[in-house]
Structures are given as C-alpha cells and as structure tokens.
Structure 1
Amino acid sequence: MGDHFLQSGHGVRFEWGPAGAEQLAREVTCLVVVDVLSFTTSVSVAVESGARVFPYPWRDETAHAFAEQMDAELAVGRRAVSRDAPWSLSPAALRRAPFAPRLVLPSPNGSTISAAANGAAVVAGCLRNATAVAAWLAGHGYGTTAERAVGVVAAGERWPDGGLRPAVEDLLGAGAVIASLRRLTGGEASLSAEARIAAAAFRASADVGQDLRDSVSGRELIGGGFPEDVSIAAELDACPLVPVLTGGAFSAAR
C-alpha cells in the first residue's frame, strides 16, 4: 500500500481496525486503541480497581494457558459469567466481580490493535477517559508534530463474514479523544482530514449516551440484557486514569 495511507505530515491521525493500526504504526510514536463497547471501557473499569490487564486476541483454550502463564484471572464471555468465573468483557460484571490484581481480557479487535504497535506506546481510550487520555498525550508531546505523531484507532465491529463494520460508538470515542487533544494543545495538534472528521462527529453529538443507546451495537447489547454496559460506556470523562500498555499489560499511567 502507498505511503499516502500513513496520513503523513500530521501529528494526529485516525484509522479503523487492525489493518488501519498496522498502517499507522509504521510512522506514529503512540497508538490509542478505542473499543467503546467494550474492550477499552472494560480496561478503564479494571484499571480503576488497581488491576493490570493483559490483552489477548482469542477466547479459547490458549487463553486459559496464557492466563496461567501470567498468573492472572481469565475474563469469560458475557453469558458465561458464574460464581467461579465472575470476570468478563462486560464493564458491569467487572464492577461487581471480586478484585483481581491481574486479569487476562480476550478481545480480537482491541488486543490485535494493541499488538500492532510496532514499538509505539499503546494507550486504551474510551469515552470514560477521553480527556484524561488527551491530557496524557499532550503532556508527553504526542500529536503536536509529525515526529511525535499519535494514531487514534477505532476498533469497529465485525460482520458475519469477518469484514470490518465501522461502529458509531468507536467513532465517538475516538473523536472525543481527538477533540480534547486539539483543545488542550491550543490548536497546536495538526489533525489529518480523517482525524478532523472524527472529532467533528463527536462534537456533533448532542447526547452521547443517547447516541450509544441508539447505535446498532448499543441496541444489540440492550436487547441482549446488558443495558448497564452501555450506560457505563457512556460515562463521559468519569475516569481520570490512563491505561498504558507496559510489560504486556495495561495499567494506570503514573
């Protein structure tokens, strides 16, 4: 693919999914992973409790082996939560579950994007910590020059055939981070066209919570019996912590 896919020359860039992350990682010095419903929202909730979160791309027997290797608890699917396995990708379930100092959180999109960093710093962003993430980026000089470029990657969802389905909740989450970074740097952050449009999408939302509830992903979760997950994901700027991937796990930046 041509170098024009890198959005070169801009300090803040925006893309979709693992393939987009791989492209941006060729040049950026930091990747912000955004998977609002609900990998990065779950990471924010777990980190608030003091946990270290190990991303993992598959929920299968290899995940059990990886959790044992990491001496960590393993999160299960939303509908597989039990007394013996109370941790899951559900933010609401994580809030109710006993404290786990080390947690493996399987997520095909979020984990794959995190693994695409190619040496860049990796941050978990969502609506709950958008301003905190932007402040951390600005404080480290990310986004203000092309040499310190940041790539904000919306995870999106998957169609049944495996193709990427752009998801409005991730567009809003990415846009929230980008809009906050632009504001906190006094306009110094140079936005690519893609990043500028993502920020504009967030600013165009009159009610982020309602938009999440009305989105395809939100309606799917609500209809499946998980409305609290959508409500938690919509807690705009409720979390002051910035989960940074260090030593293979997300933990709160110091």
Structure 2
Amino acid sequence: MDFQRMPSHFASPYALRQAIRAGDFAANTSGQAPGFVQCNLAILPRDWAMDFLQFCQANPKPCPLVAVSDQPGNPLLAAAGEDVDIRTDLPRYRIWQNGALTEEVSDISAHWRDDLVTFLIGCSFSFEEALVADGLEIRNVSEGVNVPMYNTNLACTPAGRFHGNMVVSMRPFVPRDAIRMIQICSRFPSVHGAPVHFGDPQAIGINNIDTPDYGDAVTIKPDEVPVFTACGVTPQAAIMQAKPDFCITHSPGCMLVTDIPNSKLAIL
C-alpha cells in the first residue's frame, strides 16, 4: 500500500500514539519517537496463543517477544507505556481469516473479542536510531519511505501449528558501513539483532530486490551491498501457513511505538 508521507515528526511516543488514535497520523512509524522501542503486532484467539508463543520462543531472531497481554481480552498494555490501547494506537492493522488477508483498518475496536491475546514483537526500527547516531545513513528514512521487506527461503523452526519461512528487511550500505552496522545491531538481540545475510539476494531466495514483497523499494548505489535483517513480518507469513480462523496483525511498517527506551534492550 502507499503510505501517507507526513511532515510531522514526534519526539514523544505518547504524543504519537495520541495522534494515531485521533486519526491525525497514518504513516509508517520509521524515524518517529527516536529512542523508544517499536513493536510488531500479532493478536490471536486464546486457543492459538500457546502455539504462537512457542513459535516465537523457537524463532527469537525474527520473532523476539517484547510483551504479551496479561489476560485474554484486555486491550490495554501497561507494560508498553502510558495509556496504550492496542485497538487504536497503531496507524494501520491487518485482519486475517483462515490465513487470508481480508481487510486493512485504522482501528480494530469493532473486531475486538474477549478471547484475544496480544503479542508485541521487537522491530528493527528500534536499532535504526543507534545506526544514525553512529553516522550511518538509513536509506528508507532518508528517502521517506517504508523499509523494503522480502520473503526468503530461510526456514523457521516449526512449533505447534505454526511454520514457514523468514521475512527480512533490507538496508543498503557500503561494505565498511555494513560491518559497522552488524557490530551495532548485535547489541540489540531483542529487536532482531545482527543481520542474517548480506550480499547476493538470490542466496536467500530473493529474485528481484527492486520489488519488495512488503514496504517500498529504496535506492541501492553501485558501491553498496544489501544487508538483510530478520523481520517481524515473519509471523504474518506463518499465519498464512497455519490459517487460524481469526487474527489481527500490524500493517507492515505501522508499528506500536512504546514508552520502553531502546537502551533497556541494548547489550552494552
């Protein structure tokens, strides 16, 4: 989908969430509220929740758990921040039925059920701040687009009813900066950690790097190599395989921005 390009940049996660809730912000969240953890989202019925939890535990690189709702049916996540309501505080959601995407919405209040369990999964947007602080250009941020994401042939570890291949996000760097990027990202295992691949996209099953499966294409300069990081869209690929009768996820690039400082997740 085409994301709304908006000039507003929010320093406060709370202010950003309030703007989203009011319908005043509908863009991808990369670069917003720097310094705070951004999360992918998966919401499943209680009878699917244990299988999904086991899938995340078996695949911590693409599915690093940040928080889980304290009880089924509770849309408020105090662990994520002040006045966080999972029904309204992401710019865009996806509704799934039997493994098929049925619609995208900006509010899931009408879809909420008493048996739903919420999972927050770490996002690579969180380590972008550390990369920028080190002087590295993040191409999706500098070009004002959503990060490019791709399906791969990298198999996840099956767990319960969930299985499938990893989804990755991509950021291009010159080789010297790619090495520095790997060093920095290794400090953030709770938001995907070190990249899973760099260089030849076809080696991980990506046939056309100019056509992402999710997000937007970015410029790759002749002297740059693509660097691929595990991506929190991976659960959506697993959901398409497992086919739960009902599920809600974030729309790729539209994260929950929490009040959790990125420094809390860094290994120094």
If the length of structure 2 is used for normalisation, what is the TM-score?
Answer: 0.31
Structure (1 or 2) with the greater strand fraction: 2
Provide the TM-score with structure 1 as the length reference: 0.32
